[in-house]
Structure 1
Amino acid sequence: MASPPPPSAAAPAAAANPSRNPRRKPKPKPKAAAPSALNPNWAQLQSKLPRPAATLLGKRKHRPDPSPPPAPTEPATPAAAVGAAEVEVKLEPTSDDTSLTKAVAVDCEMVGVGTGGSKSALGRVTLVNSWGNVVYDEYVRPVERIVDYRTHISGIRPKHMNKAKDFWVVQKDVAELIKGRILVGHALHHDLKVLLLSHPKKDIRDTSEYEIFRREGKRISLKDLTAQVLHAKIQQNEHCPIEDARAAMFIYNKHKKAWEKNMKEQFRFRKKLKKRGKKKSAEGSGNDPNVPTVLL
């Protein structure tokens, strides 16, 4: 029978130090005494302390919401961009060409004649071409004696009459210049009235009458219309007929294509209405419109 193996050297060490025995369970630590056991007044004190308000976080400690991040600031507008928006447009000629063009713009300044200067008479007339260049500009000596120069509006003074031309001379000059041309202006019926002239309706382009320039069916002043369409200021103090005529021409040029198309459609429609009217009148009389009527 085989003899058992001799005990190893570790066995005596384990026997000598039983705490290092791996098979031995550690002793449980004594539980801490409850606060009430340590201090009998703790329970009473705890009941008097304020309890924290209930939160959505349950038993977790209430933490204040962090402050929201600052809103992003918009980038500052460059000074150059601000200045560009405030720059006023100056009404200057767009070419050096001073020749007569197919369209010319007219503006007249009036003076007061008659009793109390209540009647308007021509005091100055200006014509500009499509480029805004002056083709005619003359002070006018009215037929009647001037009672009120209306300087605060017209800009006309007594000294201007020293080199003024007689009304009939100026009227003839203007009639020759506008003949067969498109006449542009603002409230042209006033200008033609003081000139004692008429012009074919199909050749009139009045910026006060064009539908798209009206506000709720009412006419807009040339000053407001120029600011609206051209972003320019006119008539700040005394009126300048060169500036006013140029403004009317530039407004017309800006809307020329649509305006001319509209005018053609209007006159084509009116022409059809006239033909229908003639045909109906001929049918009502029992005569053939194509056969001339013989008077006996």
Structure 2
Amino acid sequence: MTELSSNWKRLSTAISSNTTRKRKEASKERNKNKSIASARIHTNKKVSKDNINGNESSHSKLLSKKTSPKIIQKKVTDILQKAASEKPANSQSSELAAKPTSLIARALWDFDRGITVEDIHNVVLSKQPSASTPRKKDIGKYVALDCEFVGVGPEGTESALARVSFVNFYGHVIYDRFVRPREKVTDWRTWVSGVTAQHMTDAISFDEAQKEASKILETRILIGHAVHHDLDSLFLSHPRFQIRDTSKFGPFRAISNGRTPSLKKLIKHFLKMDIQDGSHSSVEDAQATMLLYRLHRDTFEKSIRSTTAK
């Protein structure tokens, strides 16, 4: 009887131990399942968020895999490169909003003679630019000029030349130099001119800038916006029949009820682009002016011929 009782105790202990072990295993399994479910919910939330943003689940899949940081980085880079090389349906508006000045420079470079608004809107910055030729880098017959100014005088209200930029027919920069004002600068106007005191380190003298600008202008067609201000700042003149001023062109003035339109307004009206957000760049403004001229070149030239014939 004593032996039976002893055996029963051992059996009870074994059963109890086995039950405890199974409970622990079941508890671990439940915790594991909860972790998996939580991870799935977290991943699904990321996928849903990406789908809302139009990015599908590409990078959510990357993050859910146990891959090394280097592999993840490589896959992310591959996805970004693929996206950059593709042109989605709304790429026209996004590219125009993203880098208008780059589009302007690219359109000038890619198209030889005739150019339309549609040509500009079809420019894809991710593609390689058209091949360079010596002709596209030469000064050529047509040049666009723009200058930047700083403030001089007691209140900084007077203007002094601080930068001179020329681009050719294809938007290629043929001259771009900072100029040391002859007077003491009292207002750099950096917020609009983009010029700082540091730019004066390698700046040239006014006399040198005047001489070089005069040489570039000789016998050439000059395109500019209110270009008489730029010429006056250089103390230079240019034959009237060789000037194409976008601020005086009839069809351009029509959008401002006969008043002088700003370059920014012209680009916005005809190209649906925004330029001069922040400080100006005389190179970019010269390119924008050249593009306006090339878009309306035939009408421009007809207007000049009718004016000079009188």
Interval containing the TM-score (normalised by the shorter chain): 0.5 to 0.7
Q: Report the counterpart of residue 128 of structure 1 in structure 2.
A: 167
- Say whether residues 1:216 and 2:257 are aligned partners: yes
Q: Report the counterpart of residue 95 of structure 2 in structure 1.
A: 87
Q: What SS is found at the alignment partner of 2:137?
A: coil
Q: Report the counterpart of residue 146 of structure 2 in structure 1.
A: 107
Instruction: Decide whether the 8 Å contact of 1:111 with 1:122 is kept in 2.
Output: yes
Residues 1-296 of structure 1 mapped to structure 2, 5 A cutoff? 80-88=88-96, 89=100, 90-93=103-106, 94=109, 96=132, 97-214=136-253, 215-269=256-310
Q: Which moved more, 1:181-190 or 1:223-232?
A: 223-232
RMSD: 1.6
Q: Which amino acid aligns with 1:161?
A: M
Aligned equivalents of 1:137, 1:111: Cα separation in 2: 16
Q: What are the superposed Cα offsets for residues 155-208 of structure 1, whole Å, 9 maximum, x if unpaired?
A: 001110010000000001001101111110111121111111111111111111
Aligned equivalents of 2:196, 2:174: Cα separation in 1: 23
Instruction: Decide whether the 8 Å contact of 1:113 with 1:145 is kept in 2.
Output: yes
Aligned equivalents of 2:149, 2:211: Cα separation in 1: 18
More helix by share: 2
- After TM superposition, give the deviation of residue 80 of structure 1 in Å: 4.3
Aligned equivalents of 1:169, 1:227: Cα separation in 2: 35
Q: Which amino acid aligns with 2:275?
A: I
Instruction: Decide whether the 8 Å contact of 1:107 with 1:126 is kept in 2.
Output: yes
Q: What are the superposed Cα offsets for residues 234-257 of structure 1, whole Å, 9 maximum, x if unpaired?
A: 101110111000000010011111
Q: What SS is found at the alignment partner of 2:238?
A: coil
Q: Which amino acid aligns with 2:95?
A: V
Q: What SS is found at the alignment partner of 2:176?
A: strand
Q: What SS is found at the alignment partner of 2:155?
A: helix
Gapped regions of structure 1 (runs ≥ 5): 1-78, 270-296
Q: Which amino acid aligns with 1:110?
A: F
Q: Which amino acid aligns with 2:216?
A: L
Q: What SS is found at the alignment partner of 2:248?
A: coil
The structure with the largest alpha-carbon Rg is: 1
Q: What SS is found at the alignment partner of 1:174?
A: helix
Q: Which amino acid aligns with 1:219?
A: T
Instruction: Decide whether the 8 Å contact of 1:183 with 1:203 is kept in 2.
Output: yes
Percent identity over paired residues: 41
Aligned equivalents of 1:263, 1:161: Cα separation in 2: 39
Q: Which moved more, 1:115-124 or 1:242-251?
A: 115-124
TM-score normalised by L of structure 1: 0.62
Gapped regions of structure 2 (runs ≥ 5): 1-86, 111-131
- After TM superposition, give the deviation of residue 225 of structure 1 in Å: 0.6
Aligned equivalents of 2:89, 2:144: Cα separation in 1: 35
Aligned equivalents of 2:155, 2:242: Cα separation in 1: 36
- After TM superposition, give the deviation of residue 84 of structure 1 in Å: 3.1
Q: Which amino acid aligns with 2:271?
A: L
Q: What SS is found at the alignment partner of 1:144?
A: coil
- After TM superposition, give the deviation of residue 232 of structure 1 in Å: 2.6
Q: What SS is found at the alignment partner of 1:120?
A: strand
Aligned equivalents of 2:287, 2:88: Cα separation in 1: 29
Instruction: Decide whether the 8 Å contact of 1:91 with 1:232 is kept in 2.
Output: no
Q: What SS is found at the alignment partner of 2:309?
A: helix
Q: Report the counterpart of residue 34 of structure 2 in structure 1.
A: none
Q: What SS is found at the alignment partner of 1:165?
A: coil
Aligned equivalents of 1:85, 1:127: Cα separation in 2: 29
